[in-house]
Amino acid sequence: MGFFDGLLGGRAADFDSGNASTNAIELTRRHQTVSLTRQGAATGNLRVNLSWRMRTSDFDGGRTSLLRHPFKALKPPEIIGHGQSMVDVDLDLGCLYELTDGTKGVVQPLGGYLGDVNAPPYIKLSGDDRFGSGSGETMYVNLDHRDDLKRMLVFVYIYDQTPAFDRTHAVVTLYPSNGPRIEIGLDERHPQARSCAVVMIENIKDELIVRREVKFVYGFQGELDRLYGWGLQWGRGYKTKADR
């Protein structure tokens, strides 16, 4: 069983989901930001979803397969669903938050620190999906309390001690209550990274700005904290059976 940085505590709450839209905005290096306020999407519950799939190149024999079937090199890499019978890669969704009153903290699966959507921090993690199912992991942000939210850093990390971002195709998707969904792909190859800061949501002069980050680090939440100057105290932690 692997280990990583964590805080203990947290409580559960009920929540509602926003409506999914059929079109999408993809945040890239060239197009890094989008304003939820200007799109009329700064109210209701913002749904943040993490989904991932494993690349078949890790399971089809690699170079041996290409030698037997050379024309496979001409085909795009196939992506398949990740099952427990394959490599045990456990991606987790989390969020560092800072409220306008100065309160700082984290929402993540470790320790059942799942947050609350109707009370501070107005962020709720719905659960922990260990194997990247179709629904993935989902977090809700109550934007009706946007005046209480200063900044939120959505991040992804690998639970066990085996870095595998290079073997997964992960996508974080934001579903506002109104307007197009926002997609951030984690397609960069960083085989030794264990965590990735994906997207920052900031309240800047009463405007909610979503900014692509996609910064991979070799440590866990504590290293992301130092990178973005959150200033929390971190310790080592383990997942319990209830967190899996």
Average pLDDT over residues 24-51: 95
Tell me the pLDDT tens digit for each residue of 81-112.
Answer: 433 334 556 788 999 999 999 999 999 987 77
What are the tens digits of pLDDT across the range 31-43?
Answer: 999 999 999 999 9
User: Residue 169 — very low, low, confident or very high, per pLDDT cuts 50/70/90?
Assistant: confident
The β-bridge partners of 47 are 140, 175
Is the pLDDT assigned to residue 219 strictly greater than 70?
yes
Prediction pTM value: 0.77
Preceding amide of 120 cis, omega within 30? no
Find tokens 């903290």 and name the residue.
105
pLDDT score, position 147:
96
Q: Which residues face 173 on adjacent strands? A: 49, 183
The whole-angstrom separation of Cα 124 and Cα 48 is 10
Residue 167, CA distances (Å) to 75, 89, 126, 189, 199 in order: 18, 9, 25, 8, 21
d(CA 238, CA 156): 16
Amino acid at 33: T
As a whole number of angstroms, the distance between CA 77 and CA 66 comes to: 12
